[in-house]
Amino acid sequence: MLKLYIGNKNYSSWSMRPWVLLKQAGIPFQEVMVRFDSFDGDSAFKDTLRPISPVGRVPVLVDDGFAVWDTLAIAEYAAEKFPEKQLWPQQAKARARARSVCAEMHAGFTGLRSNCPMNIEAALPQAGAIVWRDKPEVRADVQRIVAMWTELLEQNKGPMLFGEFSIADAYFAPVCMRIKNYALPVPGHITDYIRRLCALPGVKAWIDEAQAEKTFVDFDEPYRTAR
């Protein structure tokens, strides 16, 4: 069975992507939680991951002793190992577009990611309002996301970005968490997509488990001092 090493569900946006992908697609895997303590070289987190992955970060997918790290690489590996799950769109141009938007997420949207770190358990509308007012890079990132999702939903007739659930939806799930929990202003059809995505069993399972966590990680909490 596949083994997926992840970080805290409440905070780890990178871990959320492959976990949601595998869960929603019905691909069996064993979860290994490596909780955040610090990212220093001598931390328990690094000590656990160092023998598994040379980069010492989550997520890591292990298949019969073979480790795959980085979310895009994990997604591609799963798509090739389980072609019957159709994790990418089947039409060539749609598949290329899905890979393009995932790569855009992978390398970009740093304004949104740095100013609105994922925190599923917290409701942070006041912090979101201040960020929205003071951070033009966040407004620019959200504007691009709204334009992208609007085009994809219209072209592919929903309910997901490429019609049916795909790697792209799993990849943008943490963005949905940010928009929702920081109450960033988006049009109604974007809110509807976020609601549909959050209702998927694989996504809902991650959210439920994130909300049930009792760990407060101070370096992942720029806007709170306690739960």
- Of 206 and 42, the structure prediction assigns the larger pLDDT to 206
On average, the pLDDT of the chain sits at: 97
**Sign of the torsion angle spanned by Cα atoms 211, 7, 204, 173:** positive
pLDDT in tens, 126-144: 999 999 999 999 999 999 9
Judgement on whether residues 112 and 21 belong to the same structural domain of the protein: no
Instruction: Report pLDDT for 37.
Output: 86
Same domain, 122 and 193: yes
Looking at the structure, do residues 109 and 64 belong to the same domain, yes or no?
A: no
Read off the CATH number of the domain in which 62 is found: 3.40.30.10
> Are residues 160 and 56 part of one domain?
no
Distance CA 99, CA 97 (A): 5
Q: pLDDT-based confidence at 218, cuts 50/70/90?
A: very high
Q: The domain spanning residue 126 has which CATH number? A: 1.20.1050.10
**First-to-last C-alpha distance (Å) of the chain:** 35
Q: What is the pLDDT of residues 38-65, one digit of tens each?
A: 888 888 999 999 999 999 999 999 999 9
What single-letter amino acid sits at 81?
A: K
Residues 181 and 203 in one domain: yes
Q: What total of structural domains would you count in the chain?
A: 2
Domain boundary among 85, 113, 146: 85
Query: What does the pLDDT read at residue 40?
Result: 81
Q: Which residues contact 59 (CB under 8 A, 6 or more apart)?
A: 4, 5, 6, 7, 12, 14, 15, 17, 18, 19, 69, 71, 74
On the question of pLDDT at 209 being above 90, the answer is yes
Which residue range is the domain that position 66 belongs to?
2-85
pLDDT average, residue stretch 210-225: 95
- Give the pLDDT score at 158: 87
Q: Mark whether 115 and 205 lie in a shared domain.
A: yes
Q: Write out pLDDT tens, residues 174-204.
A: 999 999 999 999 999 999 999 999 999 999 9
Mean pLDDT value across residues 108-132: 98
SS3 148: helix
- pLDDT value at residue 205: 98
* Residue 77 and residue 159 in one domain: no
> Do the Cβ atoms of 131 and 22 come closer than 8 Å?
no
The residue-averaged pLDDT of 81-107 equals: 97
Rounded CA separation 127/188 (Å): 21
Q: Which residue has the tokens 């697609």?
A: 25
- Residue 225 within a domain: no
Give the mean pLDDT of 56-82: 97
Please name the residue ranges forming H helices in the chain: 13-25, 44-49, 71-81, 92-107, 110-115, 125-134, 136-156, 167-181, 188-199, 201-212
